[in-house]
Amino acid sequence: MIREKVRVKSFKINGIDVTGASNQTILEIAQENNIEISTLCYLKGLSCVGSCRMCIVEVKGSDKLIPSCTSKIKEGMEVTTDSARIKANREMILSMLFSERTHTCSVCVSNGNCELQDKSTELRLEHSQVPYGHARFEIDASHKNFVNDPNRCILCSRCIRVCDEIEGAHALDLMGRGMDTRIIHDMDEPWAESLSCTSCGKCVYVCPTGALYEKDISAEEAEKKRNIIMELLERKVEQ
């Protein structure tokens, strides 16, 4: 197998001269240079899938908006991370995420600790720009410790990736198409009957919304467990 030779690339982000290795992404270089790009499905330490499209950027010479988390850098490229066009598209993307499921913050277990909620504040999204789909999914509370509420899922696949790449169990996957897509355990068994799940809780603590949560736990305990998982992901990056 022939490996691509890693080369140093020079380019611009928001008019700032930056450099990076040819196998790095626009998002990685932006973060290294303290240039903020909005993300949602991205989580440092996990593979990048570009599913949410919140991290879209403009590249001079292209009519397309591209996800910065999966786009490799190129010599001489000129990247813009925060234009009126990008902001309008991010607002529409966020509106669609809110409209596809049920996100009533006031009655959600993650109210005040939800990345989707944070994005609406960050973008100052006061209302959805598209009609609500009012999808209804059955909640799986069969596990003794955890709950899976598909009604609050944004299909970011963080739970699938952490279960596969960090825990090594791959107990989770996607099933269905379009607005009917949902996270399942094994071959769509109740969580309590999953033979692959190790009950480690990693999936719960990388979930950016209230789709996966632990039963009978305080916000302080949940935050402590979440920090442990994030430290584990940081160590993986450093290895």
How many domains are there within the chain? 2
Distance separating alpha carbons of residues 200 and 210, to the nearest angstrom: 18
pLDDT digits (tens, 9 = 90+) for 155-168: 999 999 999 999 99
Helix, strand, or coil (residue 213): strand
pTM of the predicted model as reported, rounded to 2 decimal places: 0.93
1 falls within a domain = no
- Confidence tier at 237 by pLDDT (50, 70, 90): confident
Regarding whether 172 and 74 lie in a shared domain, the answer is no
Helix, strand, or coil (residue 139): coil
pLDDT digits (tens, 9 = 90+) for 129-160: 888 888 899 999 999 999 999 999 999 999 99
Distance separating alpha carbons of residues 120 and 84, to the nearest angstrom: 17
Regarding whether 72 and 123 lie in a shared domain, the answer is no
57 falls within a domain = yes
Distance separating alpha carbons of residues 145 and 199, to the nearest angstrom: 8
CATH number at residue 192: 3.30.70.20
Q: Which residue range is the domain that position 131 belongs to?
A: 88-238
User: Is residue 78 pLDDT above 90, yes or no?
Assistant: yes
* Mean of all residue pLDDT scores within the chain: 94
72, 21 Cβ separation under 8 angstroms:
no
Give backbone dihedrals phi and psi of 8, rounded to 5 degrees, phi first.
-85, 130
CATH number at residue 64: 3.10.20.740
Regarding whether 101 and 58 lie in a shared domain, the answer is no
Regarding whether 15 and 60 lie in a shared domain, the answer is yes
